Amino acid sequence: MTIEPILKEVPFFSRLSDDVLKKLAGMGQTITMKENQVVYQEGDESESMFVILNGRVKIYKVDEQGYDLELTQMDAGDFFGELALLDSRPRSATVVCLTPCEFFIINQIAFMGLLLGSRAKLVYGVFADLTGKIRDTTEAYFKEELAKQMLQAEMKIERHRSLAQMVAGVAHELNTPLGIVNTAVDMIAKRVQSDALAAPLSGDKAAQAILADMQEAAHLASRNISRAHNLVQNFKKISVNQLTAVKETVDLTVLVQDILELFKINARQANLTIEVIDHLPEGNKVWIGYPGYLTQVLTNLLFNIEKYAYPDGNGGIIEIELSMAPERDPAHFMLTVQDYGRGIAPENLSQIFTPFFTTGRRQGGTGLGLAIVHNIVTDALKGKITVESDLNVGTTFTVIFPQIVAHDKESGR
């Protein structure tokens, strides 16, 4: 690979003459690194720039919680660390080899020497001025990128939270009956083994056969109850993520009913009455979409109603309406979720979908719920969500989404 054309791409090399560029290329050296080897670490003193001749690297930062946040990947023909040639401030990110790599390195001292010893002297002054600006821009870019990634990470967690909350609720409710059945079956299993039962039946072949069947059945029941018990225990720990991104063909009415079934425990505790009004024409209820995502959308809206529309615990009415969206080709569904609660103040209405906007920070609100809902509806379901609300009258969320969700190549969904 010839180095010069690549070097010309480096912003502050572009103004160097071919002559100087050639010298510059002559000054560098080639080094190789192994897979997983760290090229340099964030905070390291910088002394050289790198051109990738072969291989692939990852550039990342480590956030406050110690997680890696990938900023970008680069491969042959790309360069990085170029600011090092102009100043020695610490590296602003970490670079690691994803494959065995070969780099062409230009060292700062050599570069400075070249500049100072040539006509480029003048230009150097200009560079020095520019450096700070370039680096600040780079830093700003990194910061922005970092903020974006942290937001995404947080949204992911929040997405799990509402579903996990419900799963935990269901698991909790199941625990008690399962425990009782477990004890009962255990007792039966022990009793059918007892001599008190076996002895008097010793002469009766038919009764013995029945007893043997009962023993086997009791054993089977007891084994499977404890399996169910374990499943419930583990259920809470399962990552729900895998469940959500699966495209399925479902009956939308049934799906909505199923979701409400999951929410039932909460609804009961919060005295919420949920009414489903189904206007979907028979034979037109099939949705080819993502049940997991719709579950997240609906449960987020329901949890918000519980928390914000009817906060005093006295409960209220929630109406869920399903219909075909008017005048849409291809066909779209329309799902409205309406409450008759406190409503949203006009000055807040435009902000509710914004990440981190919440009026419930003190009650543990993160302000991510509706941002996620918005995200899912537009990104995954290829639809739209709108809201109408009046203080002390109530709030209506309307979700419109296509009956057949197109495949999304980019995200692989």
Ligand X SMILES: Nc1ncnc2c1ncn2[C@@H]1O[C@H](COP(=O)(O)OP(=O)(O)O)[C@@H](O)[C@H]1O
Length of the chain: 413
**316 part of the interface to ligand X, by CB under 6 A:** no
Q: Name the residue among 120, 117, 109, 98 with its Cα closest to residue 52.
A: 98
User: CB-based contacts of 277: which residues, under 8 Å, 6+ apart?
Assistant: 319, 320, 321, 322
205-208: list long-range contacts, CB under 8 Å, 24+ apart.
Answer: none
Residue whose C-alpha is closest to residue 305's, from 258, 257, 373? 373
Compare residues 362 and 409 and give the one whose CB is closer to ligand X: 362
Please state whether the peptide bond connecting residue 330 to the residue before it is cis, i.e. omega within 30 degrees of 0: yes
355 touches Mg ion (CB under 5 A): no
**Which of 28, 316, 341, 369 is close enough to bind Mg ion by CB under 5 A?**
369
Report in angstroms how near the CB of residue 319 gets to ligand X at its nearest: 12
For the segment 289-318, give every residue that binds Mg ion (CB under 5 A): 304
The DSSP bridge pattern shows strands 56-62 and 29-33 to be unpaired
Considering the rule CB under 6 A, would residue 352 count as an interface residue with ligand X?
yes
Tell me how many residues contact ligand X (CB under 6 A).
23
Q: How far apart are the first and last CA of the chain?
A: 38
Residues 98, 196: Cα–Cα separation, whole Å: 71
Q: Which residues contact 410 (CB under 8 A, 6 or more apart)?
A: none
Residue nearest to ligand X (CB): 369
**Which is nearer to Mg ion, 100 or 360 (by Cβ)?**
360
CA-to-CA distance for 9 and 74, rounded, in angstroms? 15
Q: How far is the CB of 349 from ligand X (least distance, A)?
A: 9
Residues 267-306 that bind ligand X (CB under 6 A): 304-305
| Shortest separation between residue 232's beta carbon and ligand X, angstroms | 27
Residue 339 interacting with ligand X (CB under 6 A): yes
With CB under 6 A as the contact rule, the residue among 50, 79, 308, 401 that binds ligand X is 308
- How many angstroms from the chain centroid is the CA of residue 68? 15
Least separation in angstroms between CB 358 and ligand X: 3
318 lines the binding site for ligand X (CB under 6 A): no
124 or 340: CB nearest ligand X: 340
Q: Which does 360 bind (CB under 5 to 8 A by kind): ligand X, Mg ion, none?
A: ligand X
* Residue 359 contact among Mg ion, ligand X, none, beta carbon within 5 to 8 Å by kind: ligand X
Instruction: Transcribe 232-265 into DSSP letters.
Output: HHHHTTS-THHHHT--EEEEHHHHHHHHHHHHHH
User: Among the candidate windows 168-176, 230-238, 342-350, 400-408, which touches ligand X by CB under 6 A?
Assistant: 342-350
Please give the residue ranges that form the binding site for ligand X (CB under 6 A): 304-305, 308-309, 339, 341-344, 348, 352, 357-360, 365-371, 395
